């Protein structure tokens, strides 16, 4: 099997082919209910043995077979890539023309929550030849297993792993939870838990999953995560973090999840880790994401360290674009900073930008993504209220603690949704 390249590529969320409807063996209900697809079944028991090679070798072997068959729009392994000198070690890739090969998409950038639109491109229109396998929970089975062919249960919407035909890295795939349920691009507990299980099954520190909300450079309004292998530590994974001491406000908040803040990094963010169970970690992170969605705050998520560490980045770059607050110099690069860019893996479209890339230029781009310190602190409080905690420094006596508990019990959130600063009806056209 081909070795994972040491360093390589990036951009975000282009997907699969131009397959439409059931004109060809697609993922729609009409086709899936009579189809057989490979099936990977994993154990939900976090103490079950994990093989570092089983899922990885299977996924990469099938991904390479699709490359051999010519399903990708270009050879991502031929793209020039380098690590920029400097303490952060930002990674840049030159991928000239990639943005010209993308399917034109447009959506409202001022709404994180938007209804699923079956008339627009979605993953039920993907050809089955782009599917690597179903990814299903086998409960507490002793160990994971793989079947080369298995029927699709029409009563259960399958989770699908498919190639990204415009990859930004070796092994770039899409995880599509409950594909037939046509869930719009919004986080729920099921989706986060499934992504954590996939990270655990891969059991490889160089395999990460990412998520982009609408308004944070998701390009398809159909629930999905991205994942790929990059055999180098991402800059955000090397960044210093500062643990936050939290006071639990509700008994059900006792899930053992630790929360930290990124330090000395251009994008402000929170880091979630540990948890009594993987379900507890998924529950806390999904509540944090749901809070951002309900408050119309775009965000990106990076799942790292075999699913043990999750980075959450509220962001505002698209909002600044819509308001004309991004410099022309940055706009000319045509970089849309989504989860991989924010994590320090940046795809550039012009050779000039690639050759002149420096730590200062990368930092300048990512700093535009970040919320201001004041706004970040405000958003952080929304998140903490949603997960039933408060920073210990804010609870100075029993009277204040009781008041905070009472407020937190009101629908689990003590804050009103925040009005968007976008101009109404703003569109992003990619």
Q: What is the mean pLDDT of residues 282-291?
A: 97
Work out the angle between the directed axes of helices 189-202 and 54-68 (0-180°, nearest 10).
90
Q: Determine contact, residues 40/144, Cβ cutoff 8 Å.
A: yes
How far apart (Å, rounded) are the C-alpha atoms in residues 274 and 265? 22
Q: Who wins on pLDDT, 207 or 400?
A: 207
pLDDT band of 252, cuts 50, 70, 90:
low
Say what the pLDDT of residue 403 is. Answer: 53
Q: Who wins on pLDDT, 386 or 102?
A: 386
pLDDT at 423 > cutoff 80: no
Per the prediction, the chain carries an average pLDDT of: 84
Say what the pLDDT of residue 48 is. Answer: 77
Per-residue DSSP letter, 413: -
Work out the angle between the directed axes of helices 278-294 and 189-202 (0-180°, nearest 10).
130
How far apart (Å, rounded) are the C-alpha atoms in residues 240 and 74? 36
Residues 6+ apart with CB under 8 A from 219: 12, 13, 14, 15, 102, 105, 430
Q: Who wins on pLDDT, 34 or 30?
A: 30
pLDDT at 8 > cutoff 80: no
Q: What is the mean pLDDT of residues 266-278?
A: 95
Closest CA to 212 of 13, 371, 15, 369: 13
Residues 6+ apart with CB under 8 A from 153: none
pLDDT band of 25, cuts 50, 70, 90:
confident
Q: What is the mean pLDDT of residues 100-113?
A: 69
| Each residue's pLDDT tens digit, 361-371 | 999 999 999 99
pLDDT at 97 > cutoff 90: no
The CA-to-CA distance between both ends of the chain, in Å, stands at 35
Main-chain phi, psi angles of 190, to 5 degrees: -60, -45
pLDDT at 272 > cutoff 70: yes
How far apart (Å, rounded) are the C-alpha atoms in residues 298 and 287? 15
Q: How many Cβ atoms sit within 10 Å of the Cβ of residue 136?
A: 16
Closest CA to 191 of 222, 234, 237: 222
What tokens appear for 54 in the block?
């089983």
pLDDT band of 151, cuts 50, 70, 90:
confident
Q: What is the mean pLDDT of residues 269-292?
A: 96
How far apart (Å, rounded) are the C-alpha atoms in residues 349 and 346? 10
Say what the pLDDT of residue 104 is. Answer: 55
What tokens appear for 378 in the block?
């405000």
Q: What is the mean pLDDT of residues 370-376?
A: 97
Exposure pattern of 216-228 as b/e (b: 16+ CB <10 Å)?
bbbbbbbbbbbbb
Q: Who wins on pLDDT, 54 or 209?
A: 209
Q: Who wins on pLDDT, 248 or 147?
A: 147
**% of the chain with per-residue pLDDT over 70:** 79
Say what the pLDDT of residue 178 is. Answer: 95
Q: Determine contact, residues 422/97, Cβ cutoff 8 Å.
A: no
Is 224 a catalytic site residue?
yes
DSSP 355-405: HT--HHHHHHHHHHHBPPHHHHHHHHHHHHHHTTEEEGGG--SHHHHHHHH
How far apart (Å, rounded) are the C-alpha atoms in residues 113 and 355? 38
* Reported pTM: 0.86
| Each residue's pLDDT tens digit, 175-191 | 999 999 999 999 999 99
Q: Which of 172, 222, 224, 345 is catalytic?
A: 224
Say what the pLDDT of residue 401 is. Answer: 47
pLDDT at 103 > cutoff 70: no
């Amino acid at each position: 099997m081909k070795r994972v390249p040491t360093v390589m590529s990036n951009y975000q969320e282009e997907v699969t082919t131009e397959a439409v409807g059931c004109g060809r063996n697609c993922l729609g209900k009409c086709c899936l209910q009579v189809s057989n697809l490979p099936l990977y079944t994993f154990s939900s028991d976090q103490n079950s043995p994990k093989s570092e090679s089983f899922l990885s070798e299977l996924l990469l072997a099938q991904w390479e077979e699709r490359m051999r068959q010519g399903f990708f729009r270009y050879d991502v392994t031929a793209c020039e890539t380098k690590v920029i000198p400097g303490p952060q070690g930002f990674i840049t890739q030159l991928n000239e023309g990639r943005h010209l090969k993308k399917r034109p998409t447009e959506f409202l950038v001022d709404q994180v929550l938007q209804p699923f639109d079956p008339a627009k491109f979605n993953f039920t229109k993907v050809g089955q030849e782009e599917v690597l396998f179903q990814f299903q929970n086998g409960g507490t089975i002793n160990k994971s297993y793989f079947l080369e062919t298995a029927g699709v249960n029409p009563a259960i919407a399958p989770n699908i792993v498919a190639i990204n035909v415009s990859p930004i890295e070796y092994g770039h795939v899409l995880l599509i939870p409950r594909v037939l349920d046509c869930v719009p691009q919004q986080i729920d507990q099921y989706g986060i838990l499934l992504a954590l299980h996939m990270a655990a099954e891969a059991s490889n520190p160089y395999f990460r999953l990412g998520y982009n909300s609408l308004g944070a450079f998701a390009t398809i309004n159909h629930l999905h995560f991205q994942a790929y292998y990059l055999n180098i530590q991402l800059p955000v994974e090397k960044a210093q973090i500062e643990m936050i001491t939290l006071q639990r406000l509700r008994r059900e908040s006792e899930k053992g999840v630790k929360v930290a803040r990124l330090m000395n990094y251009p994008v402000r963010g929170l880091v979630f880790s540990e948890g009594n169970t993987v379900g507890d970690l998924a529950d806390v992170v999904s509540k944090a994401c749901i809070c951002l969605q309900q408050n119309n705050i775009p965000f990106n998520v990076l799942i790292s360290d075999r699913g043990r560490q999750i980075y959450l980045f509220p962001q505002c770059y698209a909002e600044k674009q819509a308001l004309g607050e991004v410099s022309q110099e940055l706009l000319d690069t045509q970089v849309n900073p989504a989860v991989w860019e924010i994590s320090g893996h940046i795809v550039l479209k012009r050779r000039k930008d690639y050759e002149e890339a420096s730590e200062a230029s990368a930092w300048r781009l990512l700093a535009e993504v970040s919320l201001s310190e004041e706004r970040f602190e405000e958003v952080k409080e929304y998140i903490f209220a949603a997960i039933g905690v408060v920073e210990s420094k804010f609870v100075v006596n029993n009277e204040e603690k009781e008041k905070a508990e009472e407020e937190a019990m009101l629908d689990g959130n003590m804050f009103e949704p925040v009005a968007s600063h976008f101009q109404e009806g703003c569109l992003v056209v990619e």
